[in-house]
Structure 1
Amino acid sequence: MLKEENYEEARRKFRWPSVRNFNWALDYFDSRDAGRPALVWINDELLDSKDKKVFTYGKLRALSNSMANGLRELGLGRGDVIMVMMGNKPELFISFLAIMKIGGTISPATTLLTPSDVEDRTKRANIKAIIADSTVADRVDSVRDRLTTVKAFISTEARRGWLDLGDVYEGKPENYRPDFTTDAIHDPLLLYFTSGTTAKPKIARHTYASYPVGHLTTMYWTGTRPGYLHYNISSPGWAKWAWSTFFAPLNAEAASFVYEQGKFNAARQLMAVDEYEVNTICAPPTVWRMVLLEDLSKYDFSSLKGATSAGEPLNPEVIERVRRGAGITIRDGYGQTETTLLIGNFPGMMVKPGSMGKPAPGYDIVLVDEDGAQARPGVDGHITVKMEPRPIGVMTGYHDDNKRNEEVFRLGLYWTGDVAFMDGDGYFFFVGRADDVFKSSDYRVSPFEVESELLKHPAVAESAVVPSPDPLKGSLPKAFIILRPGYSPSRELARDIFLFSKKNIAPYKRPRIIEFVDELPKTISGKIRRVELRSIERKRREEGARGNWEFFESDFPDVRDMRV
């Protein structure tokens, strides 16, 4: 499949490999050419000096073996869940490989988590160890007395009460021998917290087969080949990092390019692609839109052989403008935290702007109505995956959530919760979420999570959070708020709620717009009609109008710029 550029032939030939007793880190990664580059890492300082740090497959093998020995000395082993909360550092690669080698389960976490997020995840996932950036350790320490399951706190730098990550693996033997046999089909490798339609995030459970092997489809979609330098612009802690920064390029025996940048700067990103001669790149639509604000003629893109995008539908005009400016066509794709790449515009395929593409080899994708009957071409249907025979790249289920598992695995199908239609040529077009989850700057936002936090403010009686269209970020979280008796709409109250949100809700999901209203549209059964609010908000943004009691976070520069 790696060399196949005829989609129909690739789809016809592909078969999922048999991987019962298989540990990707030990059996695949460690057997690659030791001298081949696996990771090329830079930060702002290295970019300015046009330098880089290169880690070969052999170097990462040795470092991860040492760390695996160190983790085992700490009493960590098969089945133990370890939260990894750090930035785009080489240590992140080493940690992923080491945890796999001891048979552990990784729970990736964004560095944007609040203390309450850390506490909730630790309890629900039964976390045994936390490996974190020193910059976020204070947040962990603020709830540390309640993290009773954690027996090891490991930081990227020495600090009181934490083990230094360097001490965990430096000086440890570079040879490692496992004391167990991996059951790749059943042993849990990843627990991803992902937003859903309840107040608490769902926990998608992946095995030692479903992500490492399942991402063969992602590898094929990106077009990455052995020896290529692949760049995926994604924050660690989110599934897309594992998708396209870790498994896809390393499955291809390519090198993953990582730029640990502070505040995102599109011009410097383009400079990096030019300077380090990136071959394939994947980025969310938000990044592509920001890139178009720059003068593309200033950069040399001749090294680029493929560009992809996923996370939300990519505007056709963005594809065309990038094609004109950089000479390359962005190929859109679709998948979930719960799966690997399901649908895509693959190398060699004709790209239909606005389309997600066609089903990936190894997956049988069917659009169906509520009863499971197949939808006709041109008619909206639920995106489902046939589970007989079961494709490797689908999660085993949601952790400790039998009710939800019964909802998504039924009628011999996995129900993604998304809606699309298919044209007469077999191309899929995304319509939207079947529930109310939306994306802002490629981050999934659950209205219910945000609404639950807003209810903790003494003035908030009820709220409904919906996406507000934004030309740069795709959408911004907006909260329609009904106040409790005794409170009245005012600029001062709006400021207080924005300040409360900034202190208590992670940056990617906190409301950037709020509007005080007297009532919310509801169904007869009492459910909020967010579809109606979305329509109202979309029309208002198109007209450039503003509600009488509507406030933007940007109205309060002191709150927006405040450090918390």
Structure 2
Amino acid sequence: MRDYFTAAREFDYASAASSTLAGDLDALNACVECCDRHAQPGRVALLWEGRNGERAEWTFAALKDAASRFANLLQARGVGPGDCVSGMLPRTPELLITILGTWRAGAVYQPLFTAFGPKAIEHRVRSAGSKLVVTDLANRAKFDEVADAPPVLTVGDDFQTELERQPEHFEAVMRKASDPFLLMFTSGTTGLAKPLAVPLKAIVAFVSYMREAVDLRAEDRFWNLADPGWAYGLYYAVTGPLAMGHATLFYEGGFSVESTCRIIRDYGISNLAGSPTAYRLLLAGKGEVEAAIKGQLRAVSSAGEPLTPEVIRWFAEGLGCVIHDHYGQTELGMVLCNHHALQHPVRLGAAGFAMPGHRVVVLDEQQRELAVGQPGILALDMPRSPLFWFPGYQGLETRAFVGDYYLSGDTVELNADGSISFVGRADDVITTSGYRVGPFDVESALIEHPAVIEAAVVGKPDPERTELVKAFVVLHAGHAADAELAEGLQQYVRQRLSAHAYPREIEFVAELPKTPSGKIQRFLLRNQEIAKTQEAAAH
């Protein structure tokens, strides 16, 4: 195992790029990097299991053929290089064909999580300027409620037939390293989700994470539990492993302790990635889990929020494997990790050390770098971080860029050994079951209900989900603040926005706390919920 400090000190971008990419920085195509270059006979790219137990294996060669046909289909529909294609599909082979085919055509893939409702969809496809949406029969009706929706291609029983009608060859369109291949949206506190384009050069950073932090080896069977509708799944269940020529696994069914254990056992999973929420649920069923998979996992990676010491200890003692914390953002990918493949001290509760190729620092409010033990804002020193790829929010001012630094908005603390510990979020974004939820999105959906005047949404501490989405609602006169209306508001938001973002608790109030300028002071409501939780725990 290599020494972390040596790897960080000796990192060379040119060497990293040449060892990662088949193309060069002036001529890249993500489908070539993630598919064509690995299309040797019999080399498996995807292991898939459907909701009803159906199974299939797709080779890189088969995906290359399907992606070529899909690229021809896109071209026939007027989609060209730089255009955006939105995909709203479950974890199926058709999802991977859509992604790879979009890339092959030189176009940009924009993910839509399948739980999104029409409001969340409309904002994203409008902001992206999507030329086409690809979805399935289960989600097709949502687009009937999207104003000025782009053309929709529905994956049904004849999807494969339609692909087979297309020519079997499509020459991959080469793009520059600075050109986008993904368009992501990240939740914020003061507005709707913000678009950010991910350039092709980010593939180098994604593979670096897979190698150094995840320690993905040729002999591993790898499974990332994250949905490709989100950054961690799209970056590290699709792009990263496939760019390495490694098979990934898609399980279309929902999460359960039983199904997770069965898949780990049946597919011989040795390297696992996911969120702390999933790992806490496994811990809750530890007797069943230990009996099913103890000794099978070699390396487990966690992202989304900090792991609790109890989970870390149980993985080591109950399952006989190491689980490590990793930290990142949609804007950054993973940049702070306890690395499985690099030797360094591991401090319980610390997010870890900067990924080689990044310089992570702790700043005060005047952007001065802080010493050990002083909490401040986690920041990236951009000129000294050759793997930093974030170009800023598309069409919007990026206030996170201050001088040479990108400010993450998260509060951290530098430890004496050089590792960094996560303290908390400086913003109001809610982390619930591994998902990041912007309160503004939920508030906007609530305010559209005819009974609601105002709403404020915060995260309430919760031992299973990290936080629950809680809404404080001010009603118009004539509406009863009762359980029936609360349930109606929950369902309204769930249908309009998404299944993970609706408020699980609603409290009706006469007014909301505000600043003199009229801004809602969410932190007062959040602190109130923290105090209530602590008081309840004390009793």
Same fold, TM-score > 0.5, yes or no = yes
Q: Is the 8 A contact 1:420 1:432 kept in 2?
A: yes
Q: CA deviation at 1:330?
A: 0.8
Contact 1:64 1:98 survives alignment (8 Å): yes
Shift of 1:227: 4.0
Report the equivalent of 1:504: 496
Separation in 1 of the partners of 2:176 and 2:440? 36
Q: Is the 8 A contact 2:272 2:299 kept in 1?
A: yes
Give the secondary structure class of the aligned counterpart of 2:502. coil
1:507 match: secondary structure: coil
Name 2:402's counterpart in structure 1. Answer: 410
Choose the corresponding residue for 1:7, options 4, 27, 32: 4
Deviations 1:503-537 (CA, angstroms, capped at 9, x unpaired) = 33311111110112233333444433322222221
Does residue 39 (structure 1) correspond to residue 42 (structure 2)? The answer is no
Query: Residue 495 of structure 1 corresponds to which residue in structure 2?
Result: 487
TM-superposed deviation, 1:54: 1.6
Matches within 5 A, 1:92-241: 92-143=95-146, 146-147=148-149, 150=150, 152-157=151-156, 164-178=158-172, 180-185=173-178, 187-210=179-202, 212-219=203-210, 220-241=212-233
Q: 1:9 corresponds to which letter in structure 2?
A: T
SS in 2 for 1:292: helix
Name the SS for the 2:160 alignment partner. helix
Alignment equivalent of 1:250, drawn from 242, 260, 271: 242
Give the 3-state SS of the residue equivalent to 2:473 in structure 1.
strand
Q: Find the counterpart in structure 2 of residue 19 from structure 1.
A: 25
Residue 311 of structure 1 deviates from its aligned partner by 0.6
**Equivalent residue in structure 1 for 2:283, among 289, 292, 311:** 292
Could you say which residue in structure 1 is the equivalent of 2:20? Answer: none
* Paired residue secondary structure (2:351): coil
How far did 1:134 drift? 1.6
Distance 1:125 1:28 in 2: 24
Q: Distance in 2 between matches of 1:215 and 1:141?
A: 36
> Alignment identity in percent?
33
Secondary structure class of the residue paired with 1:397: coil
* Deviation (angstroms), 1:113: 1.5
- For the residue of structure 1 that corresponds to 2:68, the secondary structure is helix
Q: Deviations over 1:430-469 (max 9, x none)?
A: 1222211111111111111111221222332222211112
1:375 match: 370
Give the corresponding residue for 1:557.
none
CA distance in 2, matches of 1:52, 1:490: 47
Cα distance in 2 for partners of 1:40, 1:496 equals 40
**Which residue does 1:552 correspond to in 2?**
none
1:21 counterpart letter in structure 2: A
Question: Which sections of structure 2, spanning at least 5 residues, go unmatched?
Answer: 18-23
1:73 matches 2:80: no
Q: For the Cα contact (< 8 Å) 1:273–1:301, is it kept in 2? A: no
| 3-state DSSP of counterpart to 1:472 | coil
The one-letter amino acid paired with 2:44 is P
The counterpart of 1:346, out of the listed 335, 339, 350, is 339
**CA separation of 1:268/1:343 partners in 2, compared to 1, >3 Å: closer, same or farther?**
same
Is contact 1:39–1:256 with CA below 8 Å preserved after alignment? yes
In 2, the alpha carbon distance for the partners of 1:499 and 1:254 equals 41
Unmatched segments (≥5 aa) in structure 1: 159-163, 546-564
The one-letter code matched in structure 2 to 1:62 is: D
Moved more, 498-507 or 278-287: 498-507
Distance 1:319 1:510, change over 3 A: same
- Counterpart CA distance in 2 for 1:499 and 1:73 is 40
SS at match of 1:475: strand
Counterparts of 1:392 and 1:447, CA distance in 2: 31
Within-5 A mapping of 1:361-440: 361-389=356-384, 391-401=386-396, 403=397, 405=398, 407-440=399-432
Q: Which of these residues, 350, 356, 372, is aligned with residue 355 of structure 1?
A: 350
Match of 1:560 in 2: none
Over aligned residue pairs, what C-alpha RMSD do you find? 2.1
Alpha-carbon separation, structure 2, partners of 1:301 and 1:25: 37
Query: Residues 237-285 of structure 1, C-alpha deviation per residue, up to 9 Å, x if partnerless?
Result: 1111112211222233221122111x32111111110121112100101
Q: Report the residue type matching 1:282 in the other structure.
A: A
Contact 2:457 2:469 in 1 (8 A): yes
Range with greater deviation from structure 2 (292-301 or 226-235): 292-301
TM-score by length of 1: 0.88
CA contact (8 A) 1:439 1:445 kept: yes
1:332-354 Cα deviation digits (max 9, x unpaired): 10111111210000023333221
Letter of the 2:49 counterpart: I
Q: Secondary structure at the residue paired with 1:54?
A: strand
**Residue-by-residue CA offset, 1:60-109 (whole Å, 9 max, x unaligned):** 22221222222222222201100011010111111111111110011111
- Taking the aligned partners of 1:487 and 1:60, their CA distance within structure 2 comes to 55
Distance 2:76 2:509 in 1: 58
The residue that corresponds to 2:90 in the other structure is: 87
CA shift in 2, pair 1:442/1:199, >3 Å: same
Tell me if the contact between 1:213 and 1:393 (Cα under 8 Å) persists in the aligned partners. Answer: no
SS at match of 1:215: helix
2 CA distance for matches of 1:482 and 1:32? 57
Structure 1 residues 228, 19: closer, same or farther in 2, change over 3 A? farther
The CA deviation at 1:27 is: 4.6
